[in-house]
Structure 1
Amino acid sequence: MVPLVVASTGGTLGSGPDGPAVQRTYATAWSVEFDALLVAGAPGIGVDAYGARDAKAGLPTGGNGTPDPRVGLPLAEAYRHGKAIGAAKGGEIALEAAGIPSDAPGVIAGDGATTVLQQLTRLLGSHRVWGRFPSTA
């Protein structure tokens, strides 16, 4: 597994230079690059988010606790493509804003990031979450 850290801006996560490096920004990451998504923490609105333009990305803008509007598009695409999705430590806010039920097949939500990551890793073994799309035949 090769994790990629995605955030609103480049640099490092956290307040100091010792945090994990950001490999992609919300403006440069595409859902096709990932086999699974893990939203670790509530993705706050970046200073470079432009209200009128980025509102089209799928999430509302403004308000306390509202996730960055650019997070909705990759989450919605990953959900439609049957990819595993995890949310921990506040990431459930992004799922809710994107219209993704936290109890849907292949969606793991919880407070413990380690537990969510372990369950998400197990889901990667099946490549897609086919139970999300019931058979109509």
Structure 2
Amino acid sequence: MPDPTGGALDPDGGDPITIQRTYATARSVEFDALLLAGEPQAGAHAYGARDAKAGTAQHPQAPDPRVLLLLTEAYRHGKAIGGWNGAGDLLATCGVGANEPGIATGDTSTAIVAELTHTLGEHRAWDRFPANL
């Protein structure tokens, strides 16, 4: 997991990538879509007064509360959300169904990225919010 205070990621054999946002500083309005490559577990730095709005984890294996906040905000804003490798469980924790409009989950990243790319072309998942006449 990246350093909670910023820094850089050092990929194998590649140039370091500067971290621009952390879970504590990122908000869903900054993103067009979210892509989850797994289910981030809460680190020790996930708790404290700065994360009061995000809530607290109930056990050590609970998802990071800041990620849950980011996901629920993105969902309410109609953003595209995709993921694999446990992301479906994370979405279910947030009350988001894997088959809802604008949501792409599965076993392979290639298919999910393709579906997410298509959804981005629609700007928002408007079908998530049916009109009541």
TM-score, normalized by the shorter chain, greater than 0.5:
yes
CA distance in 2, matches of 1:20, 1:113: 23
- Which residue is 1:116 aligned to? 112
Cα RMSD over matched residues?
2.7
TM-score of the superposition, structure 2-length normalised? 0.81
Which letter does structure 2 place at the counterpart of 1:75?
A: L
Which letter does structure 1 place at the counterpart of 2:73?
A: E
Computing the radius of gyration from Cα coordinates, the structure with the larger value is 2
TM-score of the superposition, structure 1-length normalised? 0.79
Which letter does structure 1 place at the counterpart of 2:86?
A: G
Aligned with 2:86 (options 71, 85, 90):
90
- Structure 1: 4+ residue segments shifted above 3 A: 16-22, 51-56, 58-61
Alpha-carbon displacement from aligned partner over 1:27-78 (angstroms, at most 9, x marks no partner): 01011000111111111112311167646415743243x2111111111111
Cα 1:100/1:58, change in 2 over 3 Å: farther
Which letter does structure 2 place at the counterpart of 1:45?
A: A
CA distance in 2, matches of 1:71, 1:135: 29
Aligned with 2:28 (options 27, 31, 38):
31
Structure 2 portions without partners, runs of 5+ = none
CA distance in 1, matches of 2:10, 2:28: 21
| Aligned residues of 2:24 and 2:51 also touching (Cα < 8 A) | no
Structure 1 portions without partners, runs of 5+ = 1-5
Aligned with 2:47 (options 47, 50, 56):
50
Give the percent of matched residue pairs that are identical in Structure 1 and Structure 2: 51
